[in-house]
Amino acid sequence: MNALNEKVAIITGASSGIGRATALLFAHEGARLVVSARRARELDDLVAEIADIGGTAIAYAGDITDEATAAALVDLAVRTFGGLDIAFNNAGTLGSMGAITEIALAEWQETIDTNLTSAFLGAKHQIPAMQKRGGGSIIFTSTFVGHTVGMPGMASYAASKSGLVGLTQVLSTEYGADNIRVNALMPGGTDTPMGRSVANTPEARDFVAGLHALKRIASPEEIAMSALHLASDASSFMTGTAMIVDGGVSISRA
């Protein structure tokens, strides 16, 4: 039996990278999906690929910083598939990088809105639907940056993503009695468009790989496997965790 058979899941940031890999894996494992991102064409291609492997998905293109999008995703899941069991709040941005003295307030706020406020909005609308379902799993994509490692030039990214850990802990205690589990996924360096925008030369890529104990960068599919663990009953007694899946970058000094 598939790990997510007949479960209904929302995945944001699904047009590329970790979100896309997770959507394909969840569909392979039997989930029915609502996939979201800003780019409609890429979402349509993903839905078609999911159909090719025998899965079921529907796309919604929208801005995750808009509360109307958060509400619409849940409404679409309920109207199309009858409820909501899993929410992978994965969409995010690196934001403006550089010394904090050079970051404009508007740039800071945009990063906070995209990475943290969107997660609040998502959970706000996802939780009532999960309560009606008798439980569920909410997953936020955070990062090791600002949690175990401070990296220069990434203040807004680190602050926004670290905030997800606090949100995870509070929501897990508030809704644990409703059988709603909330966890944060903490990837290391991953071969995604966002990751490649930082490690944008062979030398930079080698440097980033060398920071990890495994001396390599993850594939999106490897991170998707960890998201599957948090979404499935395999993690039925896990909640409130910051699950580090970082290839040992947090502990490596070599």
Active site residues: 157
**Side chain identity, residue 102:** E
Q: Is residue 190 a contact partner of residue 216, using CB atoms and an 8 Å limit?
A: no
Please give the structure tokens belonging to residue 173: 């205690």
The partner residues of 218 in beta bridges, in order of sequence, read: 190
Say if strands 86-89 and 8-12 run parallel, antiparallel, or are unpaired: parallel
What are the C-alpha distances in Å from 176 to residues 87, 127, 133, 192, 232? 16, 11, 14, 33, 16
- Cα 51 from Cα 45, distance rounded (Å): 10
Q: Helices marked H in the chain — which ranges?
A: 17-28, 40-52, 67-81, 105-112, 118-133, 155-175, 193-198, 202-211, 220-231
- For residues 154, 159, 164, 170, the Cα torsion angle rounded to the nearest 10 degrees is 160
What are the C-alpha distances in Å from 247 to residues 37, 43, 217? 27, 29, 8
What are the C-alpha distances in Å from 177 to residues 70, 103, 124, 171? 24, 41, 17, 11
